[in-house]
Amino acid sequence: MKLSTRQIILCGLFAALISILAQISIPLPFTTVPFTLQIFGIAITGLILGSKCGFISTLIYLILGAIGIPVFANFAGGISVLFGPTGGFLLGYPLMAFIIGYAKEKFNSNFITSISMILGLAIVYTLGTIMFSFITGNTILQSLIYCVVPFIAVDILKLILAYIIGETVCKRVFSSLNIAK
């Protein structure tokens, strides 16, 4: 796989964007899963960069965090975060970005892109819930109630906002500069 200089720079910039959005974090009293803007960042990364670069960008983000750079929520870093209770959510991010980017590239349909965003979020929720349940010893239902249910409405709102901003950026930047994605 060969990437252009422009693609490499964009992957790095979007990894940095996700890192910044992860720090916009509000701890919630009823769960160890913080409210962050990571889902927004992952969705917008997939929408703007597409499947390949979106996947690579989120992978860079995870690698930076795994080696100890404090890019995860609440300035956390290290491999222990990836294999901790909330690590499954993080590990689902590259898949989410890939699915969103793939749908945007292949179908260029508002409906299919919207469905891909929900599917990507469902994958993140699934991986996160399974890992949380496994590590904490909670049942899947308890883990869903603890880690997913409180976030569904806000995460859907983040996806809507990411879609609006992502579409606007794609239309204005790529068409005005006459750059093909």
**pLDDT of res. 179:** 46
User: Would you list the domain boundaries of the chain?
Assistant: 7-175
The predicted model gives 33-62 an average pLDDT of 94
Q: How confident is the model at residue 50 (pLDDT cuts 50, 70, 90)?
A: very high
Joined together, the tokens standing for residue 15 give 């990894």
pTM reported for the whole predicted model: 0.91
Helix residue spans in the chain (DSSP H):
5-23, 38-66, 79-82, 87-107, 110-136, 140-147, 152-169, 175-176
Q: Which tokens go with 115?
A: 């469905």
Tens-digit pLDDT profile for residues 135-172: 999 999 999 999 999 899 999 999 999 999 999 998 88
Dist CA 86 CA 130 (whole Å):
10
pLDDT, tens digit, 9 for 90 and up, residues 60-85: 999 999 999 999 998 999 999 999 99
76: left (phi over 0), alpha (psi -120 to 50) or beta: beta
CATH number of 7-175: 1.10.1760.20
Residue 26 β-bridge partners: 35
